[in-house]
Amino acid sequence: MAARDIPAVLSTAHAVAEAARRETLRHFRSSALMTANKAAAGDLRAFDPVTVADRAAETAMRAVLAERRPQDAIMGEESADLPGTSGLTWVLDPIDGTRGYISGTPTWGVLIALTDAEGPVYGIIDQPYIGERFEGGLGRARLTGPRGARPLAVAPAPSLSEAKLFTTFPELGTAQDRAGFEAVRDRVRLTRYGMDCYAYALVAAGHVDLVIEAGLHPYDICAPIAVIEAAGGVVTNWEGGPAHGGGRVLAASSPALHAEALALLSSAGA
Distance, CA of 106 to CA of 95 (rounded, Å): 12
| Residue-level pLDDT at 44 | 42
| Residue-level pLDDT at 220 | 97
Give the Å distances, CA to CA, from 29 to 18, 32, 125: 19, 9, 21
List of E strands, the chain: 35-37, 49-51, 73-76, 89-96, 109-116, 119-127, 132-137, 140-145, 148-151, 164-167, 190-193, 210-216, 234-237, 247-252
Domain ranges of the chain: 3-151, 160-268
Distance, CA of 195 to CA of 192 (rounded, Å): 9
Which of the four CATH numbers 3.30.540.10, 3.30.499.10, 3.50.50.60, 3.30.300.30 does domain 3-151 have?
Answer: 3.30.540.10
Which amino acid appears at position 166 of this protein? Answer: F
Other beta carbons within 10 angstroms of residue 192's beta carbon come to: 12
Give the Å distances, CA to CA, from 25 to 22, 97, 155, 197: 6, 14, 31, 17
CATH class belonging to 160-268: alpha beta
Q: What SS3 state is found at 247?
A: strand
| Residue-level pLDDT at 49 | 76
**What string of pLDDT tens digits covers the 270 residues of the chain?**
777 899 999 999 999 999 999 999 999 998 767 667 755 544 444 556 788 999 999 999 999 999 999 999 999 999 999 999 999 999 999 999 999 999 999 999 999 999 999 999 999 999 999 999 999 999 999 999 999 999 999 999 889 999 999 999 888 888 999 999 999 999 999 999 999 999 999 999 999 999 999 999 999 999 999 999 999 999 999 999 999 999 999 999 999 999 999 999 988 755
| Residue-level pLDDT at 170 | 81
| Residue-level pLDDT at 115 | 98
| Residue-level pLDDT at 270 | 55
Q: What SS3 state is found at 151?
A: strand
Q: What SS3 state is found at 75?
A: strand
The per-residue b/e assignment along 22-58, b for 16 or more CB within 10 angstroms, e otherwise, is ebbeebbeeeeeeeeeeeeeeeeeeeebbbbbbbbbb
